[in-house]
Chain A
Amino acid sequence: MNTQRHSFGDIARRTAFSFFLFSLVLTALLALSWYLLVPELTRVEIGGTVRGLQELKAYKTDLEGQILTMEDQRGSFLLPVNHDLYERLKGLKDERLVFQKLRKEIRQVIVDLIPGRTDIVVISGFYFDATTNIGEIRGEVTNVGPRSMTVLAQFVEDIGAIDMVTNVETSRYTRQEGENGSFYSPFTLRISVR
């Protein structure tokens, strides 16, 4: 049995050319595919125009830009007052009407606090500063017996859960006894609105 041993140099000499040839053919085929086949396969005909991948992306961006510009243009024709200051002040006016929504939400909280009872939270004052979007409500929780503080805590929690409310600061929780022996919890809430 012939057990001829080959050195690393021999192996390298014999395989070098094959490796080179393989790499050359593979690279050539891939290059041919990249320059001839891929562009051909990725081109799309839209509206009679053939576009490659990059051209498609550019065309889409261009169309989006044109649509946005035209929508703005159309908007300016639909609402034909071209007066920046007037538009800004109208926006400011609308923003400052947010307190109406806040009042409505607070009313709803009062209605939902204890179903069927609307005499529990008595509001004695509502103030809203539209420049800072901070409101203040004063009042008392009454007609719930000795639970007035617990109901007040629930009321504050519900006010804080209103979407537009970002923060509620409460005065201290206290329970006081009225002249007729009934309990009530006075409160002052400072409400920050979004």
Chain B
Amino acid sequence: MISSAFKRLAALHPILLFGTGSGLMVIAGMLMYAHIQTIIQVRDVSVPIVGQLPQMERRLAALTQQIELTELHSATRIGSQQEKVEVYALPEETNVSRVVATFEVIRDVLTRDGLLAEMSNLDISEPVKRDDGSTSRTVSVEFAAHEDGLKTIMLLVQLSGLLTVGDVLTEEEVELLVDRIEQENPSGIVALEQFLTADLLRYAENSKTYEEQLKRSFSSMTFLNLFENVLRTSLLRDVKSLLRSDLGEILSGYKLWPLQLMAIEEVSMKPGDAPKWQRLGLTLLVFSEES
């Protein structure tokens, strides 16, 4: 039966056989190409993916666990932080007397410390609506101050509107801590969350307690060294020294802390009348939320 089928096929016209054979060869070529591509993909894609997947799955499991833990704790905090932003950092209207009082405190404390010789009048503009949905007033002021006094003034501008420890740390610094926690003890994220959401003033008043609380969740020296490094190199160090100083205490005593969010518009500096003294001209934008 097979031989008769062969004979029937062999009897077909050669052109038909060549044509069909060529068609089959084209299909065979395509299949070979597909095989080669598959082998290349296995080498270049599949093998590396197989190496990465277990790690990614572990990461996903750790993240899921962290989110479950942080969700529980953050639910109670979001409301209060939001309220602080709306009351202090970005109020509906700029409280001009609060802004003036802040600068008065700066002048009095720095003058008493011998770091400020003179502060000009404050020039505060009418509110202007901005494209981003905020409203701003410009505040212009000039100081004749020692370099240390200038540093304090600029630090206050830098810290304006910041409420928590997390606000002061940069994204990179937070990322470093989170990465380390993921590798060492994913459930330690709760302790980190508590640290990052700590009120800046309370942290400055009692930084050791907050820091120890986080350190207790980790035993390895790698994390502790990294954490110490972040504390030492980040803005937190300056925050602690500023808020623990007389200036910080008076600002918090007069309920002027947290400061309303401010940004630099223009700066001018000229040498002062004595070495290390400068004349600083500042134009600041004080933001409020358009109602």
In A104-128, the 8 Å CB interface with B consists of 123-128
Q: Are A100 and B46 in contact (CB under 8 A)?
A: no
Q: Are A63 and B60 in contact (CB under 8 A)?
A: yes
Min C-beta distance of B211 to chain A, whole Å: 17
Q: Across the interface, which residues of A come within 8 angstroms of B45, CB to CB?
A: 53, 56-57
Q: Across the interface, which residues of A come within 8 angstroms of B193, CB to CB?
A: 77-78
Q: Are B9 and A80 in contact (CB under 8 A)?
A: no
A67 at the binding interface (Cβ < 8 Å): yes
Chain A interface, number of residues (Cβ within 8 angstroms): 62
B10 at the binding interface (Cβ < 8 Å): yes
Q: A131's closest neighbor in chain B, by CB?
A: B265
B21 at the binding interface (Cβ < 8 Å): yes
A71 at the binding interface (Cβ < 8 Å): yes
Q: Across the interface, which residues of A come within 8 angstroms of B25, CB to CB?
A: 23, 26-27
Q: Are A126 and B21 in contact (CB under 8 A)?
A: no
Q: Are B178 and A78 in contact (CB under 8 A)?
A: yes
Given contacts A13-B14, A16-B14, A86-B90, contact A124 B270 (CB under 8 A): yes
Min C-beta distance of A62 to chain B, whole Å: 10
Q: Across the interface, which residues of A come within 8 angstroms of B263, CB to CB?
A: 89, 92-93, 96, 130
Per CB-CB distance, the 8 closest pairs between chain A and chain B, nearest first, are A23-B24, A16-B14, A16-B17, A30-B31, A77-B70, A20-B21, A70-B63, A93-B263
Q: Across the interface, which residues of A come within 8 angstroms of B164, CB to CB?
A: 79, 81
A59 at the binding interface (Cβ < 8 Å): yes
How extensive is the interface on chain B, given as a class?
Answer: 35 or more
Q: Kindly specify which of B77-85, B96-104, B242-250 makes contact with the partner chain.
A: B77-85
For B18-41 the 0/1 string (1 means CB < 8 A from A) is 101111110110011011001001
Q: Are B31 and A46 in contact (CB under 8 A)?
A: no
A-B contact pairs, 13 of them (CB 8 A): A17-B9, A24-B21, A33-B31, A38-B38, A56-B50, A60-B49, A74-B178, A81-B82, A93-B261, A97-B158, A124-B270, A126-B269, A128-B268
Q: Are B163 and A81 in contact (CB under 8 A)?
A: yes
For B43-78 the 0/1 string (1 means CB < 8 A from A) is 001100110111011011001101100110110011
Min C-beta distance of B71 to chain A, whole Å: 6
Q: B269's closest neighbor in chain A, by CB?
A: A126
Given contacts A130-B264, A130-B266, contact A123 B74 (CB under 8 A): no
Given contacts A20-B18, A97-B264, A129-B266, contact A27 B27 (CB under 8 A): yes
Given contacts A81-B85, A85-B134, A93-B262, contact A12 B18 (CB under 8 A): yes
Min C-beta distance of A102 to chain B, whole Å: 10
Q: How far is the CA of A26 from the CA of B31 in the complex (A)?
A: 10
For A46-75 the 0/1 string (1 means CB < 8 A from B) is 110000010011011001101100110110
Main secondary structure of the interface of B (DSSP, over half): helix
Q: Are B90 and A124 in contact (CB under 8 A)?
A: no
Residue A74 contacts which of B70, B82, B154, B162 (CB distance < 8 angstroms)? B70
Q: Are A82 and B82 in contact (CB under 8 A)?
A: yes
Given contacts A81-B163, A93-B262, A124-B271, contact A12 B14 (CB under 8 A): yes
Residue B17 contacts which of A17, A46, A89 (CB distance < 8 angstroms)? A17
Q: Across the interface, which residues of B come within 8 angstroms of A97, CB to CB?
A: 154, 157-158, 264
Q: Are B85 and A127 in contact (CB under 8 A)?
A: no
Q: Across the interface, which residues of A come within 8 angstroms of B212, CB to CB?
A: none
Given contacts A125-B268, A130-B266, contact A80 B74 (CB under 8 A): yes
Q: A94's closest neighbor in chain B, by CB?
A: B158
Q: B9's closest neighbor in chain A, by CB?
A: A17
Residues of A within 8 A of B (CB): 9, 12-13, 16-17, 19-20, 22-24, 26-27, 30-31, 33-34, 38, 42, 44, 46-47, 53, 56-57, 59-60, 63-64, 66-67, 70-71, 73-74, 77-83, 85-86, 88-90, 92-93, 96-97, 99-100, 103, 123-131
Q: Across the interface, which residues of A come within 8 angstroms of B82, CB to CB?
A: 81-83
Q: Are B160 and A93 in contact (CB under 8 A)?
A: yes
Q: How far is the CA of A127 from the CA of B198 in the complex (A)?
A: 37
Most buried by B among A85, A88, A127, A128: A85
Q: Are A67 and B56 in contact (CB under 8 A)?
A: yes
B192 at the binding interface (Cβ < 8 Å): yes
Q: Are A56 and B46 in contact (CB under 8 A)?
A: yes
Q: Across the interface, which residues of A come within 8 angstroms of B81, CB to CB?
A: 80-81
B142 at the binding interface (Cβ < 8 Å): no
Q: How far is the CA of A31 from the CA of B45 in the complex (A)?
A: 23
Q: B151's closest neighbor in chain A, by CB?
A: A100
Min C-beta distance of B142 to chain A, whole Å: 13
